[in-house]
Structure 1
Amino acid sequence: MSQVPGEVWEQFAIAVAEMARDLLTQDSTQGTLDRIVEHATVLINGCDEAGILTVRQGEVHALAATSDLVRHADRIQQDLREGPCFDAVTDRQQIYAIEDMREPNDNWPHFTPRLRKLGMGSMMGFLLFTEDDDLGALNVYSRDPNAFDETARRAGWILASHAAVAFSAARTHQQLGHALETRHEIGEAMGILMERYGLTEDAAFKVLKKTSQDRNVKLREIARQVCRTGEKPS
């Protein structure tokens, strides 16, 4: 960073702080992810497009993208099972890069020419992770070869670090919300069974649980059915 004027990094720090506050205002995990990729195009010099993907059991899932071009690139990684962001997630490498897609690439010999045909010149991948979990990878693309210098790499790493924390917090908040909603629905269903069928609290819960197991349906869905119909599940 010493090669870059201090005021530039000061401005970058202010922009990252503003991004962090913006991410905290999002009311959903998807909203947080969408804002992360939008900020990437602003905060990382040379970045024309950005996206976030994750790899679960060998399957690539696109979580956010600034354009259909990025979604196409994600599908190519899935089809070929190769690419810097695919590797970032599966091998836990924090940063991957393709500096010039016009040149042969030994690491990703099939992926690189496919991206070049899409009009991409260079790209970077940053692992999104926290101490407890690997969340995915942030991909940034440029139409120009050799678009990302060391400053852009460091900026991308800083952004990815903040983004991972915001992503994890948003997901945890969403999961907690779902858990509270599920608890409320189960409690309401139990109340209906207790009132209409004279069941004890323990017996009402056992009815819901056994029905869930017998039908191989989530307990929450059984509770919703009881709340909707007011009937004891058969």
Structure 2
Amino acid sequence: MRMAELARAVAAPRSAEEIFSEVTEAAVELIPGVDTAGILLITKGGKFESHAGTTDLPHELDALQHMLKEGPCMDAALDDVMLRTEDFRNEMRWPAYSAAVANLGVLSGMSFRLYTNERTAGALNLFGFEPMNWTVDQQTVGSVLAAHAAAAIIANRQGEQLHSALNTRDRIGQAKGIIMERFGVDDMRAFDMLRRLSQESNTPLVEVAEGVVNTRGS
């Protein structure tokens, strides 16, 4: 039932942040041993973004990994499909991070890579205050929740691309109209003039169109 609600949430016209919150809250609700959860996004420029923490702790752990340049959330976001730790007190893959996390009272965790796009890497990160021998069922539910979060990122990105494409189309249309009026040419001829200006100046077509639109009234 909870998974069906999440599936409908992804399909509905809601923001990625709202769906992220649904996913992290569901992780705490559905997976035994998970006491807090959050989502880490890493942009192509290396910027860390913490989202939808069920408490402040996941944001603190993201900042810790950024500072130490090591940790499961970062590795899952960039490289590994899934990483789990039964007890951070015995975890040697990220020695500095593991020691700091254990001192904060976090003893176990799972991180799932979010399949997003070339501009953004991400991970769903789940943490427990007790050691945990993560079962296949727990890992499966985490993987499904990660897929929901990734779908929200992709849908949001596609929405941005559509908005950008519509803006580009509108700008080119406005520029064509200005050229048609000024030079008494038809639609095809106006577009050809824009295209030639773009090629000769090695400038993207939308920027040429923007320049033409900005001359309106001058």
Query: TM-score when scaled to structure 2?
Result: 0.76
1:98 corresponds, among 64, 85, 99, to 85
The count of corresponding residues between Structure 1 and Structure 2 is 212
Q: Secondary structure at the match of 2:165?
A: helix
2:130 corresponds, among 138, 145, 150, to 145
Aligned to 2:39: 52
Gaps of 5+ in 2: none
1:187 corresponds, among 173, 176, 181, to 173
Aligned to 2:60: 72
1:62 and 2:62 correspond: no
1:204 corresponds, among 194, 207, 210, to 194
Contact 1:99 / 1:147 at 8 angstroms: preserved in 2? yes
Structure 2: distance between partners of 1:132 and 1:79: 24
1:151-162 aligned within 5 A: 151-162=137-148
- Over 3 Å counting, the alpha-carbon distance change for 1:134 and 1:154 in structure 2 is farther
Identity of counterpart residues, as a percentage? 35
- Aligned-residue offset at 1:109: 0.2
- Aligned-residue offset at 1:166: 4.0
- Aligned-residue offset at 1:139: 0.7
Q: Secondary structure at the match of 1:149?
A: coil
- Over 3 Å counting, the alpha-carbon distance change for 1:84 and 1:189 in structure 2 is same
Structure 1: distance between partners of 2:12 and 2:194: 40
Contact 2:109 / 2:127 at 8 angstroms: preserved in 1? yes
Gaps of 5+ in 1: 1-13
- Aligned-residue offset at 1:78: 1.9
Q: What is the alpha-carbon root mean square deviation over aligned residues?
A: 3.4
Structure 2: distance between partners of 1:115 and 1:108: 10
Query: TM-score when scaled to structure 1?
Result: 0.72
Aligned to 1:169: 155
2:71 corresponds, among 62, 73, 83, to 83
